[in-house]
Chain A
Amino acid sequence: MADSIDRRDFFKGAALGAAGLVVTTEKTADAAAIPAPSPVTLPTSADAHDLAYAQAQSAATAPVRAVTTPGRPASDFMVDVIKKIGFEYAAVNPGSTFQGLHESLINYGKNTAPELLTCLHEEAAVAMAHGYAKAAGKPMLVAVHGTVGLLHSSMALFQAWADRVPVVLIVGHHRNPSGVINRPHSAQDMGLLVRSFVKFDDEATNLERFADAAMRAYKIAMTPPMGPVVLTVSAELQESMVTNEPRIPELVLPAPPQGEAAAVREAARLLVDAESPLIQIAKLGRTPKAWDLLIELAGTLQAPVDTMGYSSWQKFPSWHPLYGTGGRGYTPDVTLGLEVTDMSAQARAARANNRKTISISAEHLFQGSNIHDYGRYADVDLAIAADAEATLPSLIEEVRRQITPARKSAIEARGQRVAAAHKQAQMDGIREARHGWDASPVSVPRLIAELGDQIAKDDWAIVSGHQFTGDWQRRLLNHDKPYRYNGDCGGFGIGYDTPASVGGALAHKKNGRLSVAIVGDGDLNFSPGVLWTAAHHRIPLLFVVHNNRAYHAEVMIIQRMCGVRGRGNENAHIGNVIADPDPNYAQLAKAYGMYSEGPIEHPKDLAGAYQRALAKVRAGEPALIDVVSQPR
C-alpha cells in the first residue's frame, strides 16, 4: 500500500522529489554537466512528496543535483528565533512537514544550540524533553511531523501536562495540502488534537507571528504552573523566502507571583501557633532554590515534610530528620500544601476533624483542564494563589518574625520528638530490606542496595521514577541533593521512565553526574528505540531493568477481580505477563549498540554486573543490566 511507506524511505524520497521540483525552475552553474531529468510539472510544492514516493517506487536513479535557492529561507529566520530563545537540544523524529526547519537547523544552524537528537518515536522525543526539563530546569525543543507525529506525541504531552513540566513542541503541516499523503498529515486546527493537555497552542501564519508565538509559547510554558505548549508551523511558511525580515522580540520570563503579604502573614500565624504542623509538597522545586528554602522553612518550624508519593517531585532530603509525617500518633492540626495539585483529600480530612489547611500554589491561578488531575474542589482555610517557591522567602521571614521565645522552645521540643520518630522509622525501613535478601529472582531492595553501593562515591542522579519500586530508593539511598531524584511521570501512564531517563541523563551529562535509571520491563517495551538514541548520542546512563516479566500491578488487580468473582486465579496471567518467550532485554540493548548484561536472576551476580556496566557509563556510554526481579 502506498500509504504504508516506511517513513525514512519516504523522507529520502521527499528529498529526491524536492530536488526534482527545483530542477524545473532553477538554472545552476553545473546544470550543463548533468543530464537533465525528465521535466515534471507540479502545481504546488506539496505534491512533491507524492511525486517523490512515485519516483522511489519506480526506482528512479536520476542524480541529485546541487541547487542553490536564492534568498534567505524563512526557516533560517525560525532558527534565529529558536537560537535566541536558547534551546540546547531539539528532539526530532523526521518528517516532510518540517523538512524546511530541519534543513535549516542542521545547516544554517550548524546543528548546535539546538543540537538535534534523533528519536525513534515521537512519544519518546517528548518524554525525553520531559525528563530533561526537570533535570535542566528549562525546556527542550521537540519537532514532530504533522498529525501523525503530534498524535504519537500526545501521550507524552499528557504526562508533561499532568506533571506540570514545560515542553515546547513544533509541529509541521500543510496549510493547503494536496496529495494522498500530505492531506492526512495536515489539519484545519492542529492544536485541537492535544488541546486538552497543553497550556497553549498557536499556528504562525507569517514570520512575525512565528517570532511572537515562539516567544509567547516559551514564556507560557515556563510560567508556573508550567506545562507543554505546541506551535504549528506550515511547511509552506518554512519553505518560503524572507521578504521583509521581522524583528525578533526579546524573551523576558515573568517573575513568578508571590503570595499576598497579608495572606502570607496569616499562613505564618497558623503555622507558628500550630501544635503539630505538617508540610506537604508535590510540584515544588522548579529550581534548586526550593530545596534549600524548604529545608529552611521546615527547620524553622520543626515541622515534618511529607513528599506525598509518586505524583510529587519529592524535593526534600530522604534521610533528613524532618522527612516523614511526624511519626506514629502525630496528628497535624495545620497542614500546609506547597504546590500540591490536589488538596481536596487533605482539606476534607481537616474539615472533618476541625483542623486547618493552607494551600500555596500556582494551581489556584490556572485550573482549567479536561483531565481530572486537579481533583475535587479544595475546601481549604487559606488559599494563596502564588508560586510556592517564590513565596517561601517571605513565608520564612514571617514565620521567624512571629515565633516568640515561648513558641520557640515548644517548636524545638516538637522537632526533637519528630526527628527521633523519623529516625527510628527510617532505620526500621532500611532493616526491612533483609527480607528476601538472597531470593532469586532478585528482590527490589537488593537490586537497589547493590546499585547504591556501587555508586556511593559518584555524584549520582536517579533519572527514572519510582512508582514500581515503591519507596525503596528513598529508604536505601540518601537523597541529599535536589538532583538525586527526577520525579515520576505525572499522569501515571507507562512508557515515561525509559525515554525520560535519557533526557534527564542528557541534562546531567555536562555536570559530570552519574545517571542511573531503574525501569520496568513493561515501561521499556513502550519505547525501546530510545536505547538507540542514548547510544547514538553517547548519553551516559545506566539502565537497570526491573524485569518482573509482567505488568505486575495489573496482575494483582486481575487476580483480585478473579477472587471477587470467585472464578479462581488460574487464568489471571492472561493478558498481563510478558513471558513465554521471555524477552531478553540485554540482547535488545545490544541490538541498539549498547553495552549490556543479563538476564541476571541471582543477587550474587549483581555487583559484578553493575561494576562492569558502570565502568562503561563513567567512560561516557549508556549501558543496561537486565535483572529478573521479584514481582514487587
Chain B
Amino acid sequence: MKLLAISAFALLAVSVSAQAPAPLAAATGNAQRGKAVFETTLRCFACHGYDGQTGSPRLVPMARAEDIFLAYVRKPATPGMPSFAAVPEQQLRDVYAYIRSIPQAAPAPDSVPLIKGILDRRAKAN
C-alpha cells in the first residue's frame, strides 16, 4: 500500500529560510562535488527538490552558517529529517557549498506574468 505521507513530511519541515538573514562567510567545500552528493549519496533532493527550492523546507536562501548547518544535519531537531552524523565532514561541507551555489533568490511574484495573473484574479475574487 502506498500511503500518503506528504502532509506528514510538511509538518516535519524545518524552516531554514525563516531564520533571520545574516551575512554568511563563504562556503569552504566544493560545490561540484556537493551536487553529486546532494543528488546521489545523501539524496537530499528527495525532500528539498533538485535545486533546493521546490521541497519542504526550502534550502535556499540558506540562512545557516556552515558549521551550524553541519551541526544541524548531524543532529536534526525534527524527526522527519534523517541524521547525517555518520557522513564524512568533507561531504557535508561540499553539500553546503552546493546549496550556497544555487541562485538564492526566487523571482518576484509580480515579475512572473502567470503568478501575477493568479494574484490579480484572487484579489478580485472577494
Residues of A close to B118: CB separation below 8 A: 430, 433, 449, 452, 476
How distant is the Cα of A427 from the Cα of B54 in the complex, in angstroms?
A: 18
Across-interface contacts of A419 in B (CB, < 8 A): 126
Whether B46 and A556, one on each chain, are in contact in the complex, defined by CB atoms closer than 8 angstroms, is yes
Binary interface profile of A, 603-632, with partner B (CB < 8 Å = 1, else 0)?
A: 000000000000000000000000000111
Q: Is there an interface contact between B45 and A631, defined as CB atoms closer than 8 Å?
A: yes
CA distance A103 to B126 in the complex (A): 55
List A contacts of B85 (CB < 8 A). Answer: 566
- Which residue of B5, B107, B125 is within 8 Å of A553 (Cβ)? B5
Chain A residue with the shortest CB-CB distance to B1: A493
Query: Count of B residues near A, CB < 8 Å?
Result: 47
B43 & A559 in contact (Cβ 8 Å cutoff): yes
CA gap between A435 and B108 in the complex, in Å? 9
B70 to chain A, nearest CB (A): 15
Q: Say whether B114 contacts A449, CB under 8 Å.
A: yes
Say yes or no: B82 contacts A569, CB within 8 Å. yes
Assess whether A631 is in contact with B46, with CB atoms less than 8 Å apart.
Answer: yes
Partner among B42, B108, B119 whose Cβ is within 8 Å of the Cβ of A427: B119
Nearest-neighbor residue (CB-CB) of A523 within chain B? B2
Please tell me if the beta carbons of A573 and B112 are within 8 angstroms of each other in the complex: no
Determine whether the beta carbon of A449 is less than 8 Å from that of B6.
no
Chain B residue at minimum C-beta to C-beta distance from A480: B125
In angstroms, Cα B7 to Cα A487, docked, is 16
Any B CB within 8 A of the CB of A501: no
Is the Cβ of B4 less than 8 Å from the Cβ of A467? yes
Please tell me which one of the listed residues A439, A563, A630, A631 contacts residue B81 in the complex, with CB atoms under 8 A apart: A563
A559 to chain B, nearest CB (A): 6
Looking at the complex, which one of B56, B81, B114, B125 makes contact with A632 (CB distance below 8 Å)? Answer: B56
- Could you tell me if B47 and A559 are in contact, using CB atoms closer than 8 angstroms? yes
Chain B 6-49 near chain A by CB (<8 Å), digits 1 or 0: 11011000000000000000000000000000001111011101
**A449-B118, A557-B5, A632-B56 known; A570-B50 Cβ under 8 A:** no
What separation, in Å, do the CA atoms of A195 and B121 have in the docked complex? 48
A392 CB to closest chain B CB, in angstroms?
22
Contact B126 A310 (CB under 8 A): no
Cβ–Cβ < 8 Å partners of A564 in chain B: 82-83
C-alpha spacing A443/B56, complex, angstroms: 13
CB distance from B9 to the nearest CB of A (A): 6
Q: Does A552 have its Cβ within 8 Å of any Cβ on chain B?
A: yes
Of residues 472 through 494 on chain A, the ones whose CB sits less than 8 Å from some CB of chain B are: 476, 478, 480, 492-494
Q: Which residues of A contact B42 (CB under 8 A)?
A: 568-569
Interface centre among A433, A435, A450, A559 (most CB of B within 10 A): A435
* Cβ distance B108 to chain A, nearest Cβ, rounded Å: 7
Q: CA separation between A439 and B48, bound complex, in Å? A: 13
CB pair A569 B43 closer than 8 Å: yes
Within 8 A of A (CB), among B93-116: 106-109, 112, 114-115
Most buried by A among B5, B86, B87: B5
Interface on chain B toward A: helix, strand, loop, or mixed SS?
loop
For the complex, what is the distance from the CA of A310 to the CA of B3, rounded to whole Å?
12
Judge whether A492 and B115 touch: CB under 8 Å. no
Q: Are B108 and A632 in contact (CB under 8 A)?
A: no
Count class of interface residues, chain A: 35 or more
Q: B108 touching A434 by the CB < 8 A rule?
A: yes
Question: When A435-B58, A467-B4, A551-B2 are in contact, do A478 and B122 touch as well, CB less than 8 Å?
Answer: yes
Q: Does A453 contact B (CB under 8 A)?
A: yes
B84 within 8 A of A: yes
- Among B10, B58, B80, B87, point to the contact of A560 (Cβ < 8 A): B80
Q: For chain B residues 51-108, which have a beta carbon within 8 Å of chain A?
A: 51, 53-56, 58, 80-87, 106-108
> Of the candidates A423, A439, A494, A556, which one forms a contact with B54 in the assembled complex, judged by CB atoms under 8 Å apart?
A439
Q: Which of B9, B40, B87 contacts A556 (CB 8 A)?
A: B9
B55's nearest neighbour on chain A, judged by CB, is A632
Docked pose: A321 CA to B80 CA in angstroms = 33
In whole angstroms, what is the CA distance A631 to B6 when docked? 11
Q: How many whole Å from B68's CB to the nearest CB in chain A?
A: 19
- A467: chain B residues at CB < 8 Å are 4, 6
Q: Output the nearest chain A residue to B107 by Cβ-Cβ distance.
A: A434
Q: Provide 26 A-B residue pairs closer than 8 Å at the C-beta atoms, listed in order of the A residue.
A: A423-B126, A431-B109, A433-B118, A434-B115, A436-B53, A439-B50, A443-B54, A444-B54, A467-B4, A467-B6, A552-B46, A553-B5, A554-B5, A556-B9, A556-B46, A563-B81, A563-B84, A564-B82, A566-B83, A630-B49, A630-B55, A631-B45, A631-B47, A631-B49, A632-B6, A632-B49
Residues on A facing B (Cβ under 8 Å): 309-310, 319-321, 419, 423, 426-427, 430-431, 433-439, 441, 443-444, 449-450, 452-453, 467-468, 470, 476, 478, 480, 492-494, 522, 551-557, 559-560, 562-564, 566, 568-570, 572-573, 630-632
3 nearest CB pairs, A to B: A563-B82, A436-B54, A436-B53
